[in-house]
Amino acid sequence: MTVDLSSAMLDSIRQSVIQKNDDPKTEAASADIAGGFADLLKQAVRGTDAQQHHADDLVTAVETGASDDLVGAMLASQQASLSFSTMVQVRNKVMSAFDDIIKMQV
């Protein structure tokens, strides 16, 4: 699921770059690209949050004895952890790219 999320993010970024290169620079095109990227980030954060809550629920169920699916709980916990790590790495890359753009001399 995390790989699909990362692939979707990369595909969206590539499409945005292609659209920006094909279309003349207008404010409307820039707003569409920025809105699409912001929506993509919101979906990624919500998906990661949902995975973490689901993993918490499964672990709590195992701890209270309501479930005996320890393997499923640990798997969900690791998936949530991987999803969060991926989200943090994407954020770091975006911030690094932003810093590089800001430091460019015009």
Average of pLDDT values for 11-34? 60
Looking at mean pLDDT, say which of 26-30, 38-42, 47-51 comes out highest.
47-51
User: Which residue shows structure tokens 């409307």?
Assistant: 28
Percent of the chain with pLDDT over 70: 68
What whole-number distance in Å separates Cα of residue 92 and Cα of residue 103?
Answer: 16
pLDDT band at 24 (very low <50, low <70, confident <90, very high): low
Find, among 20, 14, 12, 15, the residue nearest to 38 by Cα.
Answer: 12
Angle at 18 between CA 15 and CA 24, to 5 degrees: 130
Q: What range does the domain containing 64 cover? A: 2-103
Residues 45-81: pLDDT tens digits? 999 999 999 999 999 999 999 999 999 999 999 999 9
Structural domains of the chain, count: 1
